Structure 1
Amino acid sequence: MQSYAVYVRVSTDRDEQISSVENQVDICRNWLERNEFVWDETSVYKDEGISGTLFVDRPAIQQILEKAKQKLINVVIFKSISRLARDLKDSLEIREVFLAHGVRIISVEEGYDSTKAGKNDMAFELWSLFSAQYSRTLSSSISAALAAKVRRGEHIGKVPYGYNRVNQLLEINEDEAEVVRLIYNLYNNGYGYKNITNELNRLGFKPKNNQVWQVTSVQRLIQNAIYKGTFILNQFTNVKIGGRKKQIRNSSEKWILFPNHHPSIIDDETWNQANQKKIKSRKIRITPWNEFRDLAKCSECHSNMIIVQSFRTKKNGERTEWKYLKCSQYRRAGKHGCVNHVPISYEDFRGFMTKLLMEKGKDVLLNIQKSAETNQLKKCKKLEQTLKQNEQRKKKLLDLYLDQLIEKEEFEKKRKEVEETISQTKKELFVLNQTETVQTNIQNIKDAFKEIEKSNQDLHHVFKTLIKEIVIHPEGTIDVTYTFEEPQ
């Protein structure tokens, strides 16, 4: 018996009706029934609202690939290759995984069937290339459309502090504009970013989207040409690194400048004075490498604990450097953002954590199999309970709608939320129920413990494997949650 998976995807762009989820499912179902397959609704895997250029962020395709490796399916069908992926490398990689595990690939729109293709399968590669080119062409078309809007004086993107958007045009918000002028005045009179931040918070001024001002928001405001009436297009580009998109700043030669695009808050002379000062005093700073990034958190605001580097130079020229941990929110906004922690030397903290893990490992490695299976069972039970609760909630919603106790719009909205939760829960359950998943996690933990003693190398991946979170309190005490233990 042939078991199959139907893959459908709707990107973050506003798709045409022909590419809607329902339409893709209907097209695949029609092909399956014409080819004597029995239709099974549970074999449909959906990635909704996810770009085809982000391979690693697509849970449904990852789930299908896992099923292929487990020999649980032998056919995968999708409407078109553009639905499978819009990145050439990803498209070919997905195909290779399926073919390596004996899975037949069907693309209905292109009439592609891997069982009929020869060894030199150029057709799939060409269609994948066209799909990737379409993505780039679409991006260029969008950029051209945005440029046309900017030429008409319209503002695209977030509304900057100091302005309101009225009929797509920027208009000065006089209350906020006074704060902008104060910031430039303070900076041009010798105040640094941190002192300006503290002064704004002391005076009680609020930024647009935060409770307090931060050093980075002040810095970006001063450097933003928007305040002298200039809009810059193509200042940033999205690039794909490790399967994920990352925004980088383009070189100034690629920028498209639109002077006098909107009313200015700061005159050219004031803006140039502030930014000439920035250029003259620019120093290259290398951010200290933090092996506990995204793991160590502040107990008060739950922001990341970052490394602050400092130094002292003696009269004889001898330089002493040290690194210590600090709450990132306090670092950016001072006492208005969070509280200051007692200084914790990064080297001492790292030494303490490695010693703690080595001692922990002696006991853990003896009982890791039983512990991992117990934790897996607990997680599965929680997920099953969540699934049951949402299935019941879905049924109650339908009863309320049929009894005319809620309107159709409210019913559809709440039903969609419940169905998304059910879908995500099922995916998590599927992964947890794989025996290979448990064994892989166990082996990763064993390997991580073995590497701890290699103190001369970067241990970020080790800490990430063994630790869920480290909470650091202002007085210096810490709470550690491990990946191999169920929290008490």
Structure 2
Amino acid sequence: MVKTTPQLKKITVKPTKPRLLRVGAYARVSTEHDRQLSSIAAQVSHYSRLIQSTPGWEYAGVFIDEGITGTTTKKREGFNDLMNAARSGQIDVILTKSISRFARNTLDLLQGVRELKSLGVAVKFERENIDTSTADGELLLTLLGSFAQEESRSISQNVKWGIRKKYADGQLHSRQPYGYRYSEGELHIIDHEATVVKRIFNEFLAGISPEKTAARLNSEGIKPRYTNKFQGKRLRTILENEVYIGNASLQKTYRPQIANHCTKPNQGELPRFIVENSHEPIIDHQTFNAVQIELAKRRKHGRAASPGISTNAFTSHIVCSVCGKKYHRRTKKRGNRSRKIWWCETATKGKGNPCRAPQLPETILKTICLDLLGLTDWDDTQILTKLDKITVFPNRYLTFTLTNQNEPVIVDLAQWRKPSDCHRNNQA
């Protein structure tokens, strides 16, 4: 057997190219003032150049928050986008200016850093010269994060003191209600917004609900200042705001805790101030007072005080004699046919029918009302001026309380006739 001689061959291995480090950055300013917006633009420019010019680094984006506080992360969209990018493995290193830019709440700071560390993502804080990938990084973060939180608390206290001092001196704060802009301590009218404000007041007095006015404004392409569309709830706050008659109510709301951004109405916890004729009005006093009276009326009588698409004269005016709840309007369908009925709220909420409340067909109710009131055609507004309340009894008797009569009129729904005087006395 011939023995073969081993042959040695040299294998040339190409060196593997090191993977680029994916580096992102985070920047934030707490207000939308021009000076701070200029600052954040400079930060974005700085980080973009730094990352793209550093060998071995791959640009993973600069995430920003404008006009957002650092005491909480819930509403910081840029920060949350950054965290989601890290969770999906798109970032290896995050650069940020300082701890206070990243978070002023120690708990949020440590939770964020620890989650990033578990994902293999390091955070580098330039001002404090801290790198969370090092052993002593988290200890320093805990200490400095506490200092940042205390600094935020101190700044917040000073700002609140300044605002309350201005209120006590009768000076306006820099809030800008719709229709006005704040400049040099004064409110100035914005003409095109003032036109919308006047329309909101006038349509409300014409019987149009804020929700319907909001829908009209949206359909016409008219937009509010900060959001995409008007909402009825927002229009109601405009209707109640005395700022539109030239008065300023100061310290109507407050924040009970320094790091808590939940605003609560001031119900005597702090002094309140009213400054009359503090600026040019958009609405005259007569119109404003008429709106407040109408608002009070509608609160008392419910949505039916202003009949609309989903309401009519019966809304909030039919009451169950057993539980005292209002009757609600419902649609009953059978095949291709449907009809409107009214039923006690207790039954419509899925709680059974413990009141034994009868269902009331709307067509019959309308016919009875027209007969009692001596009318030929149905008109919600006209009915509202004459009908005060309908009380429904389990035995299918109804009492109609009319505005021009002292005694209620009793109607037997089953027979649709007025009961005898004897039965009326027994029912009472």
TM-score range, shorter chain: 0.3 to 0.5
Indicate the structure (1 or 2) with the bigger Cα radius of gyration: 2
User: Which structure shows the higher helix fraction?
Assistant: 1
Query: What TM-score, normalized by structure 2, do the two folds share?
Result: 0.46
Query: What TM-score, normalized by structure 1, do the two folds share?
Result: 0.41
